[in-house]
């Protein structure tokens, strides 16, 4: 049952004076439950409790933390239809998306559990040579982490999403600043985490969930001295604001923010000549998937002027027009989409290619494809802006030189895609593709950027403003690296070392011993 209260560890609390309700965007009406925004006292209580829990949780064996994550996944699944119904009511997203996102959420929890049981993630390094100091290094958890729930993924990037799963795997207690758009979904998932913590004997305070309707809760959490790191998925404005708050603390802390991206797509001449219809249909579907509310939405398509490019644009517009408009996450997000789209469409020099104009339900968004010449795109940075929704700009470049100039002028991105059907063509565009690589976190060949596989090789991040630190990812098993730091033991007695660093390698993990990767004992 949803109470509207905050979880301060395993305590339900509602001391705050500010209340709010979530919105059903499909019905354009408020949902029933009042949610209580966390008070300053509740925020401090959660932070101090997390700091105390860290003393125990950071020392718990990997296999026990793995059990905790697995039971969280079990408890989320045990919520059954109530979770799925609440998700749909608060997001306007369909049942298929709800089921898929729940599966992704539980799947990544179990993937981190498997990583913990294998154990090599701690990156044990040993340098043991006669006549020199005995040096051994290992990764240890940072401390309590604040996770900001994302608006566009109520499960996979929110309460028990990738940031929370990776932080808990690292040994860090987590306080979630629940997203106000899906606070009920967040409370249900929080209840599952609390049950899992109790069942597996985790310390009280290993997890808390705080409601918030504005910026106060997030700002106060980020400033609290007990907090050692922040995970954020959202806008450039929100992410950069948190980075500044964290940097201005007496003791600065890292903010790992995944922010804006228009995800450029290079469609090379060979792809236009041989696969134009296929790519037009695929990209119409990608641009409108989730009503364009994916951070990997292809908002920019680049090609060199030709008859084939014009044909591709025509087919892309027709395929996009065929698709029915769908519901956005919230009236405020629909309003923001219309505002950002209007700002772009107030500029001069573009051509609108989609023609669909129809009456829709209040929070449904009409998709748009526009084209602009390369010289205009270079002169007017408004065309570079991310329009969060089903919107994409096709840039018609004069030649390879102008295409390269545009790539060099772009900000950092989450993804960059190359469409090509003749590998011999690669040499002609090698410099362009190398420059694209330096702008992105994930380089895709002959596919669409929407869809992010949860695996150890994934990078979901990129140069600023795609993320606040391009060295890290918010998706995949290496996301755990954000919440740890290296510690070196010098000349310590073997029996006093962490098991991962002891001579006999009792955990049987991969270790780098005198610069050789091995599972052997010393």
Query: Which residues are identified as catalytic?
Result: 258, 295
Residue listed under structure tokens 């539980």: 106
For 24, the 3-state DSSP assignment is: strand
Judge whether 502 and 119 are in contact, CB under 8 Å. no
Nearest to 97 by CA among 152, 171, 36, 166: 152
Token representation of residue 19: 């209340």
Give the span between the Cα atoms of 191 and 6, in whole angstroms.
Answer: 10
End-to-end CA distance of the chain: 54
- What is the residue-wise DSSP string for 217-285? HHHHHHH-TT--EEEEES-HHHHHHHHHHHHTSSS---EEEE-----EEEE-HHHHHHHHHHHHHHHHH
Closest CA to 70 of 192, 178, 204: 192
Give one DSSP letter per residue of 366-421, joined into a string.
--EEEEEEHHHHHH-GGGGS--SSSEEEEEEESSHHHHHHHHHHS--EEEEEEE-S
Q: Whole-angstrom Cα distance, residue 522 to residue 502?
A: 9
C-alpha to C-alpha distance for 75 and 101, rounded to whole angstroms: 15
Q: Give the Cα separation of 522 and 505 in Å (integer).
A: 8
DSSP bridge partners of 13? 6
Non-local (6+) Cβ contacts of 85 within 8 A are none
Q: Please identify which residue in the block is written with the tokens 């340098």.
A: 127
Q: Is 387 in contact with 345 (CB distance < 8 Å)? A: no
DSSP 145: E
Instruction: Report the distance separating Cα 252 and Cα 245, nearest Å.
Output: 9
Q: What angle do CA 86, 81, 323 make, to 5 degrees?
A: 65
The span from the CA of 476 to the CA of 304, in Å, is: 35
Residue with tokens 């403003």: 465
3-state secondary structure of 23: strand
């Amino acid at each position: 049952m949803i109470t509207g209260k905050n979880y301060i560890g395993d305590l339900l609390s509602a001391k705050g004076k500010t209340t709010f309700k979530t919105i059903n965007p499909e019905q354009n009406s408020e949902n029933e439950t009042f949610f209580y925004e966390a008070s300053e006292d509740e925020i401090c209580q959660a932070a101090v409790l997390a700091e105390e829990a860290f003393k125990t949780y950071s020392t718990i064996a990997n296999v026990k933390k793995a059990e905790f994550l697995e039971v969280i996944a079990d408890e989320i699944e045990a919520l059954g239809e109530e979770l799925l119904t609440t998700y749909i009511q608060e997001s306007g997203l369909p049942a298929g998306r709800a089921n898929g996102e729940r599966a992704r959420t539980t799947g990544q929890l179990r993937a981190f559990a498997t990583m913990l049981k294998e154990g090599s993630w701690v990156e044990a390094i040993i340098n043991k040579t006669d006549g020199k100091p005995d040096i051994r290094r290992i990764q240890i958890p940072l401390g309590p982490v604040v996770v900001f729930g994302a608006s566009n993924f109520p499960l996979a990037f929110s309460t028990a999403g990738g940031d929370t799963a990776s932080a808990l795997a690292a040994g860090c207690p987590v306080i979630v600043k629940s997203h106000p758009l899906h606070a009920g979904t967040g409370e249900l998932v929080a209840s599952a985490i609390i049950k899992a913590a109790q069942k597996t004997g985790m310390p009280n305070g290993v997890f808390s969930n705080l409601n918030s309707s504005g910026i106060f809760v997030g700002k106060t959490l980020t400033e609290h001295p007990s907090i050692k790191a922040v995970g954020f998925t959202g806008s450039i404005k929100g992410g950069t604001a948190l980075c500044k708050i964290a940097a201005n603390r007496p003791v600065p802390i890292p903010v790992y923010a995944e922010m804006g991206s228009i995800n450029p797509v290079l469609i090379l001449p060979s792809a236009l000549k041989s696969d134009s219809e296929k790519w037009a249909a695929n990209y119409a579907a990608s641009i409108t998937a989730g009503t364009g509310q994916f951070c990997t939405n292809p908002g920019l398509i680049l090609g060199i002027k030709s008859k084939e490019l014009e044909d591709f644009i025509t087919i892309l517009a027709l395929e996009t027009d065929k698709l029915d408009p769908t519901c956005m996450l919230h009236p405020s997000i629909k309003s923001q989409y219309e505002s950002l789209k209007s700002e772009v469409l107030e500029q001069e020099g573009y051509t609108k290619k989609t023609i669909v104009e129809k009456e829709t339900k209040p929070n449904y968004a009409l998709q748009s494809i526009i084209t602009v010449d390369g010289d205009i795109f270079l002169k007017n940075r408004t065309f570079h802006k991310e329009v969060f929704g089903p919107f994409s700009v096709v840039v018609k470049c004069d030649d390879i030189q102008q295409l390269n100039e545009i790539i060099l002028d772009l900000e950092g991105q989450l993804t960059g895609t190359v469409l090509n059907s003749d590998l011999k063509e690669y040499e002609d565009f090698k410099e362009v593709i190398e420059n694209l690589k330096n702008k992105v976190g994930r380089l895709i060949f002959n596919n669409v950027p929407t869809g992010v596989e949860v695996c150890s090789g994934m990078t979901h991040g990129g140069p600023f403003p795609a993320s606040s630190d391009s060295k890290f990812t918010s998706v995949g098993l290496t996301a755990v690296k954000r919440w740890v730091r290296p510690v070196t033991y010098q000349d310590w007695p073997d029996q006093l070392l962490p098991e991962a660093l002891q001579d006999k390698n009792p955990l049987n993990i991969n270790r780098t011993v005198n610069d050789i990767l091995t599972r052997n004992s010393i």
